[in-house]
Amino acid sequence: MVSFCAAISVVLMGIIALPLWGQYKLGMQERDWVGENGYGWSTTAEQVSEGVDMSGKVAMITGGNSGLGFENARVFALRGAHVVLVARSLKKAEGAIKDIKALLPTGQEYTMTPLACDLSDLKSVNAAVKAFKAKGLPLHYLIANAGIMALPERQATADGHEMQMGTNHLGHFYLITELIDILEASSKGAKPSRVVIVSSLAHENSPNPRAFLTSDTLEMPYVAWGTYGDSKLANIIFAKELNERYKSKGILAFSLHPGLIGTNLDRNMSPTAMLDFMIRDGQLVVPRVLPTFGRSIPQGTATQVYAALRAPESEAGLYLSNCNVEIFGKTYPQKDAGLMDNIQVRKKFWSTSQNLVSAALKKLPDIGVV
């Protein structure tokens, strides 16, 4: 009887372990994968930008004071770009610039400009746009890198929007659309300007993508990881529609998943939110994602640098990962992968974003024309 029970236990453990082992192997395959372009999971930002001369180019990077944004700013400065480093306060931006310059090779001049912008406050975004335009600079690259993730409870921005949506999408939407004229002008007689929007694999956590994208509020019932997933889905759809609207005017847009990296983005995440991440659609995904948690910040920054400097124009509008095109909805096709190519959904999403921003700005009578 004991032997029979032991045998049953072994069989049951095998039934449970085999799928988990399969997921783990998928994660390991991602770590070892390299695309036809020679870039893959372990590529670093310096490697992907090697040989690129960014002299004469101006690049704006939001969230440039830490994590991926800091490394992105460092690499762009290393390659000769004039980096406009955006942080929530001028003090943070100036401190980051000082730290970056201390890391760069000596004997060279580096041009870096601090810019204060709190993306959770449209009044601050408005002021940042005015401050940038007053400098009279062109703008060849805009890296929408800043973000917050999986807040334990719903919080509101200064304008009343849900914090993750307000910061990750609406703040960037307002910033980017207000700088379209400069991005367009900067592409004249040269290569197209590029907008790179940092999304995440977490877009797959959006509970009901179509309902979210076609809602009038861009807000569904609050679930920490699900709401973060909505904001990251917003990044992808925004980049696609931005590219469709402005590629003929010399502006290309990309979205991307940087990878699973330890940055201060997860500073607000609760244990419950982490559990939500580990279980998707009733499946435990830890074995699949665990092997990919070890990516470094230089490796995590590679894909956004690739989108800005290396991605062919044919990849514009697409969602990237590991410095290559990633098929949107590949892992969870039941989440309606066709949304990215649904023109009606994208247009509705864009108009809703405009309406939400416009309604918030109308409550700020002291905001002038940018």
Q: Which residues are catalytic?
A: 222
Q: Which two tokens stand for residue 30?
A: 């991602």
CB 50 within 8 A of CB 306: no
Q: Number of helices and strands (H, E) in the chain?
A: 14, 10
Q: How would you classify the pairing of strands 193-198 and 251-257?
A: parallel
* Sign of the torsion angle spanned by Cα atoms 290, 291, 296, 299: negative
HSE (CB half, 13 Å, CA atoms) of 290? 12
DSSP secondary structure, 10-33, as one string: HHHHHHHHHHHHHHHHHHHHHHH-
Q: Which two tokens stand for residue 284?
A: 């435990």
* C-alpha to C-alpha distance for 292 and 250, rounded to whole angstroms: 36
* Sign of the torsion angle spanned by Cα atoms 302, 308, 314, 320: positive
Q: Which two tokens stand for residue 312?
A: 């062919």
The percent helix, strand, coil of the chain (3-state, each to 5) is 55, 15, 35
The CA dihedral of 295, 298, 303, 307, to the nearest 10 degrees, is 170
* C-alpha to C-alpha distance for 41 and 302, rounded to whole angstroms: 9
In 117-271, where do the E strands start and end? 141-144, 193-198, 251-257
